[in-house]
A = this chain, B = another copy of it.
Amino acid sequence: MNRTQITAGRDAHHRPKGVAADELRRHNLGAVVESLHLHGPISRSELTATTGLNRSTIADLIGELTDLGLVEEGPAVAPSGPGRPSPIVNTRPQGAVVLSIELSVDSVAVATVGLGGHVYEQARVPRPRGESAAETVEIVAGLAGGLLDALPADAILTGVGVGVAGVTRRSDGFVQLAPNLGWRNVALGEMLASALRLSHPVLVANEADLGALAEYRRGVGVGVPHLIYISGEAGIGAGIIHDGKPMLGAAGYAGEAGHTLINPSGHLCRCGATGCWETEAGESALARLAGIPSSVTGLGLVDTILARANDGDQTTLDALSEIGRWLGLGIGNLINVFNPQLVVLGGFYHPLFTFLEKAVFEGARLGSLDAPGDVADIAAGGLGPDAPLIGAAELALSEVIADPAGHSRARSG
């Protein structure tokens, strides 16, 4: 708690901003790009219907976007009835390509992704726990170089997005604390920018937040504007999409659910408290209950558990049921306070979902009120372990969507 800082952070003199005409254009260009990026190709006439804009306006917008190289028109497709066919509009992936990077506890991954979500190439390599930031950055830069060289000649790189398993400051990509990576106060954005030798700004965000974004835009959460993504790795993190937008909180820490108190008579957490959610439902709880030494972590742990569970080992199944129950109880709490439509399980909960499912649902039912509970579903992620990687790409592509023309101008300048 800080009893003085709040006064400084308070911007009592903030007053609402006005909006000029160019903002209008920017918004409408963005609306067209966003529509194509998220929901795929669509005819011009359908575009007029969904945006509510006039035929002539749509024609003008598409003309500008075509000049910018962001969209292209395919052959006209005949509708079911009579009438002049309307050409299909789609994104032009190479018109805006981003480099996305994921720095997880046990692996690092890199991908090149074009507008519309087209993944050109991706690569993932294991990462030893304890590797320093400088080492990790070097490995990532090497991978990234290969992927960038493999891009088509006409591809235009527009940004870099990074997901990292830690607490980050979005403004400059500074990682304040990544306990599971063993990092603290790392200027990750700067380090990556210089290692990659790219002039583009590097957008750094929390892994769980990006997982949420990815599942919302490309995974099981498409069309579900209120969802929570649970990222289970060494700890537990949550990413929240509220009303279609990432919910970050005052300083970007929103969703740090791993250390919420859920069982005061539970186990000691390495954060110093007792009975945090992740001591009852996290990786360490699973190892403890399954009788597996704590030296076995990450993928090794998951593989062991999966093998034993598939063999029908009762101790393992009981352990899964127990952490599933605690996972569900904590999810119930999140359902009460966030009222989501969907809770998506990622990280190591994803491969284990079939074994956790029943207990998770029971726990969530117990732990949530009827009203919000009736609205909420729980599901395994649709993107598997790549969710944060896809999310990092979406983060970087969001810049293009927010200002298609401005972004292209900046690039050519």
A residues apposed to B, CB below 8 Å: 1-3, 5-6, 9-21, 23-24, 27-28, 30-32, 34-35, 38-39, 42, 50-53, 57, 167, 176-177, 222-226, 238, 242, 247-257, 259-265, 271, 273, 329-330, 332-334, 336-342, 361, 364-369, 371-378
Contact of A337 among B3, B256, B271 (CB under 8 A): B256
Task: Determine if B336 and A369 form an interchain contact, defined as CB atoms under 8 angstroms apart.
Answer: no
CA distance A38 to B250 in the complex (A): 21
**Contact between A247 and B250, CB atoms less than 8 A apart:** no
Of all A-B residue pairs in the complex, the 3 with the closest CB atoms, nearest first, are A249-B339, A18-B51, A18-B53
Contact between A337 and B260, CB atoms less than 8 A apart: yes
CA distance A346 to B123 in the complex (A): 52
CB-CB under 8 A from A374, the residues of chain B are: 1-2, 5
Q: A260: nearest residue on chain B (CB-CB)? A: B333
What are the residues of chain B within 8 A of A39 when measuring CB–CB? Answer: 12-13, 15
Are B13 and A18 touching (Cβ within 8 A)? no
How far, in Å, is A165 (CB) from chain B's closest CB?
A: 14
Q: How far is the CA of A31 from the CA of B50 in the complex (A)?
A: 27
Quick check: A223 and B10 within 8 Å, CB to CB?
Answer: yes
Task: Report the minimal beta-carbon distance from A281 to chain B, rounded to whole angstroms.
Answer: 12
Instruction: Pick 17 A–B contacts, CB within 8 A, sort by A.
Output: A1-B365, A2-B375, A2-B376, A10-B341, A12-B223, A15-B31, A15-B35, A15-B39, A15-B50, A16-B51, A18-B27, A19-B24, A249-B372, A253-B375, A256-B371, A256-B372, A337-B338
Given the complex, which residues of B lie within 8 Å of A257, measured CB to CB? 336-337
- A sample of 19 more A-B contacts (CB under 8 A), given A12-B222, A242-B242, A248-B339, is A1-B361, A1-B364, A10-B224, A13-B223, A18-B28, A18-B57, A20-B24, A24-B24, A238-B337, A242-B247, A250-B339, A252-B339, A253-B375, A254-B338, A254-B372, A260-B333, A260-B337, A261-B332, A263-B263
A224, B6: Cβ atoms closer than 8 Å? yes
- Given A10-B224, A35-B16, A223-B11, the answer on whether A260 and B376 have CB atoms closer than 8 Å is no
**Residues of chain B contacted by A3 (CB below 8 angstroms):** 377
- Once the chains are docked, how many angstroms separate the CA of A255 from the CA of B372? 10
Residues from chain B with Cβ under 8 Å of A225 in the complex? 250
Contact A2 B377 (CB under 8 A): yes
A32→B16 CA distance, assembly (Å): 7
Determine how close the nearest CB of chain B comes to the CB of A394; give it in whole angstroms.
Answer: 15
Considering the complex, give the chain B residue whose CB is closest to the CB of A367.
B261
Measured CB to CB, the closest approach of chain B to A258, in angstroms, equals 8
With beta carbons under 8 angstroms apart, the residue of B1, B20, B256 that contacts A377 is: B1
Neighbour of A27 across the interface among B19, B50, B377, CB < 8 A = B19
Docked CA distance A35–B17 (Å): 9
> Which residues from B are CB-within-8-Å of A366?
273
Q: Which residue of B lies closest to A362 (CB)?
A: B1
Contact residue among B24, B251, B341, B376 (Cβ-Cβ distance under 8 Å from A371): B251
